[in-house]
Amino acid sequence: MLEDGRAGPAPLASVVVPTVGHRDLVARLLDALVHQTVPTERFEVVVVVDGESEGTQELVESFAGSLRLTCLTQPHAGRASACNAGARQASGSLVVLLDDDMQPVPGWLGAHLEAHDGALRRCVMGAVPVLLDERSRPLEVWMGRRFDDHNTKLARPDHVFVLRDFYTGNTSIRRDVLLEVGGFDEDFRVYGHEDLELLVRLRRLGADLRFAPAAVAWQDYQKSFSNFAHDTEQAGRTAVLLAQKHPDVAPEVVLYRGGRRIWRTVNACLLFATRRSARVPRLIVALESFLAKVAPNRLSRFYALAADFFFWAGVQEADPRGRRIFR
């Protein structure tokens, strides 16, 4: 959790970038920050390397002449811990969280600042479309469509925000509000749900959630299907952790809810088989590799069903009776 210990003059905003050492991605992100329409002397950048640096620290230091920069390193403790470390170091009144695979457009930071418009307890999400081109893999295309649909939904004037809408890969909040709520919960050490847990406490604090379509940060989605499956399984595990911490929001936590009854039956059988053999998830990963070769443009349904399976496999691993938590 965070404790405030700062005083004195500060920039308008502190851009906090948690990273696991993706040097090339961080280099592109920092170059995009150099070209913001907000003058570079009006904001600072705090990069937090969570685990092995892989040359990231040296890369960050090479931008010292172009940006107001700080680079922190820490033993691997997870994204929540890295975000908290960056917020502790931040001296700006506004903390802007930006994941290392993002490429903000020139007007990105200005749009975040404008969206706050003097509000004291506002949390602003920027748009996170996926970078796609003719070389994009089927999984990237599917994820791109999902994010486009999500951004379109959030941008509707009549949209009522729910817990699952929230993400912090491109999000800003006043530093004092982040301190007041206690920062991210560092019990979340693996992928997923540290952001939703934060929102639960922000809502109780009375924070106002907004979406800023102009605060665009393009997302470079580079995960293999194996990585996607692993992350989705971890999201199932952290969903259980979130539901255990906040039972009242458990029904809002579920990431995937399956489809037709026949799929729910098949999924239940696959989950039962997974309890008997670790080969089942590996076979599904192998099946994706085959389908991507023979039917690359017809995988959307497969990805949706596979995501449903891996999520509930993670729930099952965290708690064999985990399904009951979300009813």
Distance, in Å, from the CA atom of 145 to the CA atom of 154, rounded to the nearest integer, reads 14
Task: Give the least confident one: 16-20, 49-53, 149-153.
Answer: 49-53
Same-domain pairing of 231 and 315: yes
User: CA nearest 301: which of 252, 253, 268, 260?
Assistant: 260
Asked if residue 261 and residue 196 are part of one domain, the reply reads no
Distance between CA atoms of residues 56 and 100, nearest Å: 11
Over 80: is that where the pLDDT of 6 sits? no
Please give the full DSSP string across 212-236, using - where no structure is assigned. ETTS-EEE-----HHHHHHHHHHHH
Q: Is residue 4 part of a domain?
A: no
Q: Is pLDDT above 90 for 116?
A: yes
Per-residue pLDDT tens over the stretch 166-196: 999 999 999 999 999 999 999 999 999 999 9
Quick one: 91 and 154 in the same domain? yes
Is the pLDDT score of 322 beyond 80? no
> Per-residue pLDDT averaged across 4-31, rounded?
83
Q: What is the pLDDT of residues 122-155, one digit of tens each?
A: 999 999 999 999 999 999 999 999 999 999 999 9
Total of domains in the chain: 2
Q: How far apart are CA 247 and CA 202, in angstroms?
A: 16
Asked whether the predicted pLDDT for residue 73 surpasses 60, the reply is yes
Whether residues 145 and 230 fall in one domain: no
Mean pLDDT (the chain, rounded)? 92
Same domain? 284 vs 249: yes
Per-residue pLDDT tens over the stretch 216-243: 999 999 899 999 999 999 999 999 999 9
Residues 82 and 197 both lie in one domain = yes
Q: What is the pLDDT of residue 3?
A: 44
Residue 88 has pLDDT above 80, yes or no: yes
Is there a domain that residue 82 lies in? Answer: yes
Tell me which residue range forms the domain holding 314.
Answer: 226-325
Which of residues 170, 190, 222 is at a domain's end?
Answer: 222
In this structure, the answer to whether residues 48 and 146 fall within a common structural domain is: yes
Residues 187, 300, single domain; the answer is no
The DSSP annotation for 244-302 comes to HH-GGGHHHH-S----SHHHHHHHHHHHHHHHH-THHHHHHHHHHHHHHHH-TTS-HHH
The verdict on residue 8 lying in a domain is no
Phi, psi at 13, each rounded to 5°: -145, 155
Residue whose structure tokens are 């089927």? 138
23: Cα within 13 Å, side-chain hemisphere: 10
200 lies in the same domain as 281? no
Residue 2 lies in a domain: no
Q: pLDDT band at residue 9, thresholds of 50, 70 and 90? A: low
Cα–Cα distance, 102 to 217 (Å, whole number): 6
